[in-house]
Amino acid sequence: MNWEKIDHRMKKALSEERYRHTLGVVKTAVEMAERYGEDTEKARLAAYLHDCAKCLTLDEMKKAAKDLPHDPLAETSKALMHAAAGMCVARDEFHVEDPDVLGAIRWHTTGKPGMTKLEKIIYLADMIEPNRKPFPGLDALRRTCRTDLDEAMKLGLSMSVGHVRAQGKPVHPDTQRAIDAYADSKQQTD
């Protein structure tokens, strides 16, 4: 992988703040990949590209993701739409073929049930990277990320829902399904 080239392209595509965030996600995702036995090169690539569509307009995002199934809620929101659009940009412009890397980009904002290890790592690294503005529970989430990936996902998903609700916005159905799946699996083991 030509990391210099990817770094250069991301620096150009993103605002300064978003680029700094991306470097934080790269560092955190690689550390988590080492801790949890995931491929660090895949983690680095997914982290570098996870917000590659973040600075596009909503129309550009929808155009990039035009071959994906309709997602009426995401299509009204740059905050949601940049994830699916980012996967398409990674695929079409960065020629990423690895479904694991593409999935990690696609699901980094909403989550979904049955996420892979890499998908969980990118979802969480995005929330806890060192440049993140502090939010309630961030320290606890960072601690949990060091000990248990699924516990951290449960915490991360519920924090994300709390944040969305506090803004008066609807919770994406994929996020709700991810939370429900964790609740179901707990019931089965209780």
Q: Which of these segments, 46-54, 58-66, 70-78, 135-143, binds Fe ion (CB under 5 A)?
A: 46-54
Query: 29: exposed, middle or buried (C-beta count within 10 Å: 0-12, 13-18, 19+)?
Result: buried
Does the protein bind Fe ion through residue 51 (CB under 5 A)? yes
In the complex, what is the shortest distance from the CB of residue 20 to Fe ion, in angstroms, rounded to a whole number?
Answer: 11
Nearer to Fe ion, 38 or 86 (CB): 86
Distance of CA 62 to the CA centre of its chain: 18
- In this structure, the chain runs to a length of 190
Of 38, 71, 119, 126, which lies in the binding site for Fe ion, with binding defined by CB under 5 A?
126
Q: Which amino acid is at 147?
A: T
Nearer to Fe ion, 51 or 174 (CB): 51
Does the protein bind Fe ion through residue 119 (CB under 5 A)? no
Q: How many CB atoms lie within 10 A of CB 187?
A: 7
Does the protein bind Fe ion through residue 71 (CB under 5 A)? no
In the complex, what is the shortest distance from the CB of residue 114 to Fe ion, in angstroms, rounded to a whole number?
Answer: 20
Q: Which residues bind Fe ion (CB under 5 A)?
A: 51, 126
